[in-house]
Amino acid sequence: MALQPTIATPNLDAGHAIALLRDMVRIRRFEEKAAELYSASKIRGFLHLYIGEEAVAVGAMRALRPEDAVVATYREHGHALLRGVSADSIMAEMYGKQEGCSRGRGGSMHLFDAATRFYGGNAIVGGGLPLAIGFALADKLQHRQRVTACFFGDGAVAEGEFHECMNLAALWKLPVLLCCENNLYAMGTALKRAQSQTDLSLKAAAYEIASWPVDGMDVVACEEAAQRAALAVRSGEGPCFLEFRTYRFRAHSMYDPQLYRDKREVEEWKKRDPIATFQNRLTTQGVLDDANMKRIEDEVASEIEKAIAFAESGTWEPIEDLTRFAYSGEKPT
Amino acid sequence: MSPDAQKVKITYREAMRQAIRDALIRDQRVFLMGEDVGAYGGCYAVSKGLLEEFGPDRIRDTPLSESAFVGAGIGAAMNGMRPIVEIMTVNFSLLALDQIVNNAATILHMSGGQINIPLVIRMTTGAGRQLAAQHSHSLEGWYAHIPGIKVLAPATLEDARGMLWTALEDPDPVLIFEHGTLYNMEGEMAVDAGAVEISKAAVRRAGTDVSLITYGGTLGKTIQAAEQLAASGVDAEVVDLRTLRPLDTESILDSVMRTHRAVVIDEGWRSGSISAEISARIMEGAFYELDLPVERICSAEVPMPYARHLEEAALPQASTIVATVTRMMGGHG
């Protein structure tokens, strides 16, 4: 008997499916606009797009509650948006305006928002993992039923901090949800050129962490895995490691001619575009029609236009405030 | 403290232990974490007995994963705790440099002032115990280069007892450098000794002829030198910096303006050092008050050797200080 298409998940109701689709479209359109604004020199510095990987963040973030914490990477616009950081404040941050979520001190790579417990925006590969370990340790010591979700890429697996943290997470049975976004490239270095063992979930398993690979191009699979893992983590079973197998459609950042990969490979992966495939499934199922889709696109477009207007009308922090926040309170010399 | 307050005989090690114990009792959010702090009792026996009293959650032995457990301290501090992280020696702290410099020092500013890191990191520094080139260096001056962290160097029993609590109350990350030769230092301390302020230098010996500016492990040698100089009619003032960042420039200049001569004594290397910074600040702030150029007595520019005679030759010594000051006074006495 042929396998059923994965969309036949019994408890995926129409409203929920459309919400998942909408979340992915939100990230995609926001980032497409960010890329345009980068070309127009409105946004500077480094800009790392998540396009192609949206299903991962959409699925994973659904498993989190407001009291949980998120530690993400420098490719985090989508995570921040879904966590509830407003598109306005993210866009203003990328413009460098003081209305930005990090007051223009962080930029694209360092989105922070204490209100939604979104703790970066960390641009040292692997460097967010120890922070997440500490968040989870604090929750465990305080007997709080919270999850810390830590996102990192396949590149982080090569860092010593990754191995130190896998060990600590397991050794101390910490409530941390380890979300490895394996997009097969650490900047331009293919996973197979960097790792003797390319099955990354096995690395976590070696530390006695419950771990499994997930189809990172399938938003339903991502959500299902994240819900299951978050439940285990929240109930005190210790860490879980999800290896989301995904792919980055765009360049690493805005300066990358992509000499390290074959265009045909990119085209092959694009056939599995998480948005297009899910949209097709929902249309085939009769859950989604053109009117629904248009409404999603219109709502998202309007949110983004509003964010751009907000960023454009934002203000520059006075130069006199330059050294503010190096320390709390008074400015030491 | 009243002048006739009862005094007890105590070592620097015991004063530090009292400070940690006091912090653990005062605040449930405080915990101590590091290599061999628990079952072993601390590599310098500072935390001896604390595991039995406070249990393994709060006296937390870690694997040899400096980057992970220092980063975990940062994350725990971001998530409501008041961690004390112990690193065995400053040389080992280099394995955690990423977390200290890229995370602890940056996150408040990078997040636009949203996220504080009330973390204390303690570590041993300095030479004098024939531990050679991987356990003996004085890199606190390096850390003092970094905006976003505070750097303390307790050189007295009162500071060993009192700096920790003030550091824990600080909303920003504080590094405490304990010179390895100080742990056995014994003296009298008031039984009610408690928190001390951490922003001001202290004059340990008042004098009128020359300012001897130092901190940490060389304070004892400097006072010894000042006593010898007194015997030959030179009245040296000894300034204990106590805090290397932020530097108390005002107290340094105040002393130099009275004595018109300055010698900086620092166990760090001379090139690109905290002694260079102090000398520059004196030049900037008191150039026309100086009778002579500022002198510096630092460690020889060599990795610390093992053999006792070589190690002694590499380090600032009381005899060098006496000779330098005598030479200075000879010309202008």
Residue A181 lies in a domain: yes
List, for residues A78-123, the tens digit of each pLDDT value: 999 999 999 999 999 999 999 999 999 999 999 999 999 999 999 9
Residue A319 lies in a domain: no
Q: State the residue for tokens 């130069």.
A: A319
Backbone angles phi, psi at B71, to 5 degrees: -60, -35
Q: How far is A21 from chain B (nearest CA, A)?
A: 30
Mean pLDDT, range B15-38, rounded to an integer: 98
Residue A4 has pLDDT above 70, yes or no: no
Residues contacting residue B52 through CB under 8 Å, at least 6 positions apart: none
pLDDT at A8: 47
Q: Which chain B residues have a beta carbon less than 8 Å from that of A138? A: 75-76, 79-81
Categorize the per-residue pLDDT at A5 as very low, low, confident or very high, splitting at 50, 70 and 90: very low
Residue A13 lies in a domain: no
- Please, what sign has the CA dihedral across residues A277, A33, A69, B94? positive
Q: Which CATH number is A75's domain given? A: 3.40.50.970
A191 lies in which domain range? 18-314
Residue A7 has pLDDT above 80, yes or no: no
pLDDT at B4: 64
pLDDT at A11: 59
B62 to chain A: nearest residue by CA? A168
Residue A141 lies in a domain: yes
Total tally of structural domains belonging to chain A: 1
Residue A333 has pLDDT above 50, yes or no: no
Residue B65 has pLDDT above 70, yes or no: yes
Say which of B76, B99, B103 has its CB closest to residue A137: B76
Residue B246: how many CB atoms within 10 A of its CB? 17
Tokens of B85: 């992280």
Mean pLDDT, range A298-313, rounded to an integer: 98
ipTM exceeding cut-off 0.90 for this assembly: yes
Percentage above 70 pLDDT, chain A:
95
Residue A11 lies in a domain: no
List, for residues B216-229, the tens digit of each pLDDT value: 999 999 999 999 99
List, for residues B206-215, the tens digit of each pLDDT value: 999 999 999 9
Residue A330 lies in a domain: no
Active-site choice (B66, B86, B140, B267): B66
Size of interface A-B (CB pairs under 8 A): 152
Q: In this complex, is the C-beta atom of A78 within 8 Å of any C-beta atom belonging to chain B? A: no
List, for residues B171-185, the tens digit of each pLDDT value: 999 999 999 999 999
Residue A328 lies in a domain: no
Residues of chain B with CATH 3.40.50.970: 7-190
Cα separation of B48 and B37, whole Å? 8
pLDDT at B146: 98
A108 to chain B: nearest residue by CA? B110
Query: H-type helices in B232-317, by residue range?
Result: 249-259, 274-286, 308-314
Radius of gyration of chain B (CA): 20
Q: In what order do the strands lie in the sheet with B120-125?
A: B59-61, B30-34, B82-89, B120-125, B174-179, B150-152, B243-245
Categorize the per-residue pLDDT at B331 as very low, low, confident or very high, splitting at 50, 70 and 90: low
Residue B330 has pLDDT above 90, yes or no: no
Say which of B57, B72, B79 has its CB closest to residue A168: B72
Residue A8 lies in a domain: no
Q: Which chain A residues have a beta carbon less than 8 Å from that of B109? A: 105, 325-326
pLDDT at B3: 61
Residue B179 known to be catalytic: no
Mean pLDDT, range A160-187, rounded to an integer: 97
Categorize the per-residue pLDDT at A255 as very low, low, confident or very high, splitting at 50, 70 and 90: confident
List, for residues A187-217, the tens digit of each pLDDT value: 999 999 999 999 999 999 999 999 999 999 9
Residue A70 has pLDDT above 60, yes or no: yes
Residues of chain B with CATH 3.40.50.920: 202-332
Q: In this complex, is the C-beta atom of B72 within 8 Å of any C-beta atom belonging to chain A? A: yes
Binary contact (A130, B99; C-beta < 8 A): yes
Class of domain B202-332: alpha beta
pLDDT at A9: 53
Residue A10 has pLDDT above 60, yes or no: no
Class of domain B7-190: alpha beta
Average pLDDT, chain B: 96
